[in-house]
A and B are shown apart, each in its own frame.
Chain A
Amino acid sequence: DTEVTQTPKHLVMGMTNKKSLKCEQHMGHRAMYWYKQKAKKPPELMFVYSYEKLSINESVPSRFSPECPNSSLLNLHLHALQPEDSALYLCASSQTGDGDNQPQHFGDGTRLSIL
C-alpha cells in the first residue's frame, strides 16, 4: 500500500461533466504535486503546491483547477475536459519543495477516461 492515497481509482466522465480527483498524505510532507501520464510515457508535471501555496503551474489549461485545502489534501477539479485529457493522473508528495535529495512519493493514480 502506498502512503499517498488517491481517489477514485477510475473515472469515466463526459465532456460537460464536473468532477474532482482527490489526494491525501499523512507523512507530514509540505510539497504536493499533480502529474499527467500517457501510456508508455514519463509523467508530465502539472502543478506544485509548497506549504499549501501554488508554486508551479506548468501552463495547464484552465479546465484543470487545483486546490490545496490543507497540508494533507490536494484536489484537482475537472470541468469541460477534452478526449485528449484521458490519462493516468498521479499525485505525489515530498518533505518540502526544496533540496535535491528528497524523493517524491506517488499515489496509485486515477485512470481518467473522457467520453
Chain B
Amino acid sequence: AQKITQTQPGMFVQEKEAVTLDCTYDTSDPSYGLFWYKQPSSGEMIFLIYQGSYDQQNATEGRYSLNFQKARKSANLVISASQLGDSAMYFCAMRGAYNQGGKLIFGQGTELSVKP
C-alpha cells in the first residue's frame, strides 16, 4: 500500500526566510510521482511542483524546490524567501504508475504561517 506522511501539522516562518516542509512516502511501485499542492484558506488546491521517481535532478519551480532523497523516501518542499501570501495548507501527494486509475494519495498536510 502507498502512504504519505507529513509530520509537521503546523509551522511558522519569518517573512523572507526559507522554510522546509517535510514529506516521507512509502510505496512498492518502481515508478511513481510526487506532487506538492498549496491550499489557501479560500479553498483552491494549487499545484506547485512535481518530482518523478526516475528524475536525476531535484525539481525546481521559481521559489519552490523539492529535496528528493530516494533512498530515504523523502520529498521535502523548500520555499525560499517566504512571502505573506505563502501562508496556507501544504499537501504532499503521490501517484503510482500502476495504481488504480491515477489515484492521488495525500498526506495530512502542514499549515504554514508566515510572520511579517
Confirm or deny: A102 has a beta carbon within 8 angstroms of a beta carbon on chain B: yes
- Is the CB–CB distance between B89 and A100 below 8 Å? no
- Is the CB–CB distance between B102 and A48 below 8 Å? yes
Interface size on B, residues (CB 8 A): 30
Contact with A along B84-104 (1 / 0, CB 8 A): 000001010001110011111
Q: List the one stretch of A67-75, A78-86, A89-97 in contact with chain B.
A: A89-97
**Nearest chain A CB to B113 CB, angstrom units:** 13
Closest to A56 in B: B101
A97 cross-chain contacts in B, Cβ below 8 A: 101-102
Q: Which residues B23-54 have CB closer than 8 A to chain A?
A: 29, 31-33, 35, 37, 42-47, 50, 52-53
- Is the CB–CB distance between B101 and A111 below 8 Å? no
A94 cross-chain contacts in B, Cβ below 8 A: 102
Closest to B50 in A: A103
Chain A residues touching B, majority SS: loop
Q: State in angstroms the CA–CA spacing of A111 and B50 once bound together.
A: 28
**Nearest chain B CB to A67 CB, angstrom units:** 18
Assuming the A-B contacts A97-B102, A101-B33, are A43 and B45 also in contact, with contact meaning beta carbons closer than 8 angstroms in the complex? Answer: yes
Interface residues on A, range: 20 to 34
Confirm or deny: A109 has a beta carbon within 8 angstroms of a beta carbon on chain B: yes
Q: Which residues of A contact B (CB under 8 A)?
A: 2, 31, 33, 40-43, 45, 48, 50, 55-56, 88, 90, 92, 94, 96-109, 111
Q: Which residues of B contact A (CB under 8 A)?
A: 29, 31-33, 35, 37, 42-47, 50, 52-53, 89, 91, 95-97, 100-104, 106-109, 111
List 13 interface pairs A-B (beta carbons < 8 Å), by A numbering: A42-B91, A43-B91, A48-B101, A55-B101, A97-B102, A100-B95, A101-B33, A102-B95, A102-B102, A103-B50, A104-B35, A105-B47, A108-B43
